[in-house]
Structure 1
Amino acid sequence: ATKKGEEEEAARIAGEAAAAALKAEKAKEEEAARKLEAELEEARQKVELATKIREEEAERQRLLAEAAKSQKAEAAKGRKAKLREDQTEKKCELKVKRLKELVADFPGSEVCRTLKELQAGDRSSVPLVVKVVSVLERPGEVPVIVICCDSSGDFFALSFYNAELQKLGQAVVPMKTLLSVSQASFRQVTVSGPGGKKLSYSSVAVANPADAVILSGGSAGSTGSSLALATGRSMVYSTGAENRSAENE
């Protein structure tokens, strides 16, 4: 009985030792699993961090590229604007220079009436002196219209009745001919432009071509002649010409 008890005790102790060993092995395996899981989590976090860094760097590079592109576009836009500004400034300078040339050979103001004075009715005894800028090509239409400027640089339409376009065009030289006009009538003409927009311009009607005399810059032999003589027409004065409808213009 004693021997049997000893064997049973030894078996119990061996079983407990085996269970303890198994438990220790299991604990060791669980620890290894936790360690492996921790390592995997750390690796996953590192991968996520690396991915995030790459994405952020890619976004930064994209933003830098867009900023550079935008700056380049703005610089190009600025250069174009500066070029347009320079061109506009040069054009304005040319226009101012050209205008100065146009009015350079006008006679003194004491014998030279301006468009504004004509409009206001001032100095009626002084003729309106104008420089011919261009003759509008309107074959067969009345009146014949000549674009002019006065000594102040104001531009307007000079409308001739009882005159022929071809012969008047032969008598004057654009940008050179100076005319002295008496008995002129001022009016503001309003016409309908694109989209029904109202446009207006200053017009001076000359019913009798003999009232316009070439002071200088006309065609050969025409200086000192009236446009009635220069156009070679027998003058027919129309008292209603000054009041004709602006629709003909």
Structure 2
Amino acid sequence: MTATEDYLLISWYSYDPQYNSVIFVLDKHTHHYNKTVFLDGNPHIGGIVYDSVNQNIWIANDVHGGKHARVSVIALSTLERYQLHEEKKSITYMQTIELTELSRASFIGYKENDLFVGDFSQRHEGRLNKYGIDQKGKINATSIRKIRLLDDTPEPIPIPQKIQRVTFYKDTILLSQSFGKQHSKILIYKDTKDDYFLKKDVMKEIEVPSYMAQIYASGSSLYVLFESAAQRFRNEFDVEKVDRVLQLDLSMIGEGS
């Protein structure tokens, strides 16, 4: 999930290969559904972010069975013009690139004209690499910063099952933590170094309902999406259903606090 000046974009994928992955486009101001954008094939879209400088949309676009992380970028103008009933094909990408330093793109983030791509392929260590976006709105496969996320939590649960998404607000890094029917958490860290322990270095924790799926910071708002209202949870009466995108006020964090 990400937000542009006028739209809220929600990525969706299916485990059934007969269905394309898609982006649902909602009007950011009225909250009304606008349209559905078809992507090429059915990649696991591990994240979607908006590059406000170049007005492009980046997606984590890993191929099933691929050896390396892969991301693609779509021009916002292309998305605005796209109409499935007229074009009858998937949307066109500006660039698709393999990032050979990472085995997969588990999630992506954006901050100040830089793209961050995360890989949780290791059991108790995650990586978050930073890639500079050039004047054409594209990146190359060599990262300019490497962040490690180290597991010092007592639960014997691998990092990939603990951390799903990343976003940035001012001088902080926000990670979404969600597993099972336990309450989800938003973990907040000061963006001052390249090695972070999940428990020891956390600056603040915000508890939210279970099955949090995506977070995205835009301005002073944090958009939060849950999967608890999905069909597979509808008959589980002990799961609290959240079938709306929540908009939280990030000013409660405080600048630099």
TM-score (normalised: structure 2): 0.21
Which structure features the higher share of helix residues? Answer: 1
Which structure features the higher share of strand residues? Answer: 2
Higher relative contact order (CA 8 A, sep 6+): 1
